[in-house]
Amino acid sequence: MPLALIFAAVADERDGIATEPPVDVEARAAGWTLEGTLVAVVEGGELVGSIHVERSRHGFADVGMAIARDWRGRGVGSALLAAAIEWARERGLHKLSLSVFPHNAAAIALYKKFGFVEEGRRVKQLRRSSGELWDVVDMGLLL
């Protein structure tokens, strides 16, 4: 499954990432940057997940991850996060940051497993297409 299609499928779930459908897959794919993008590919060449590390000029990076539903809980997120941390360290970054919805217990547990700590909560930060306002939890990892 191409990277933009995985992103669109995760967006369709409406609860794991900030983006909601409809996702313009072609526009998303055209705007994707390869720098800092790591992918998970399984036997047979199927793309099942990605993580993007967006470097800032200030020595830290923001992280975003998407994993195909059928591949969650099978180590894909751990492998991607470990690779992203290594990638960031190799480039001399001092910190990784991310935001996660507070109801995404599996993602929060994964991030904590790798040493990320909660740094704050932005209350009613994102307006969903339903009109609901959702909090986000900010997490960080000093490298």
**3-class SS letters over 90-137:** HCCCCEEEEEECCCCHHHHHHHHHCCCEEEEEEEEEEECCCCCEEEEE
**C-alpha 82, offset from chain centre:** 13
Those residues whose C-beta lies under 8 Å from the C-beta of residue 44, and which sit 6 or more positions away, are none
Cβ contact 103:136 at 8 Å:
no
Say what the pLDDT of residue 23 is.
85
Residues 18-72 have pLDDT tens digits of 888 888 878 877 777 889 999 999 999 999 999 999 999 999 999 999 999 999 9
Whether the per-residue pLDDT at 4 is higher than 90: the answer is no
Q: Which two three-digit tokens encode residue 21?
A: 């459908």
Q: What is the pLDDT of the chain when averaged over all its residues?
A: 93
pLDDT band at 107 (very low <50, low <70, confident <90, very high): very high
pTM for this one? Answer: 0.90
Say what the pLDDT of residue 43 is.
93
74-to-1, 64, 79 alpha-carbon distances in Å? 17, 18, 10
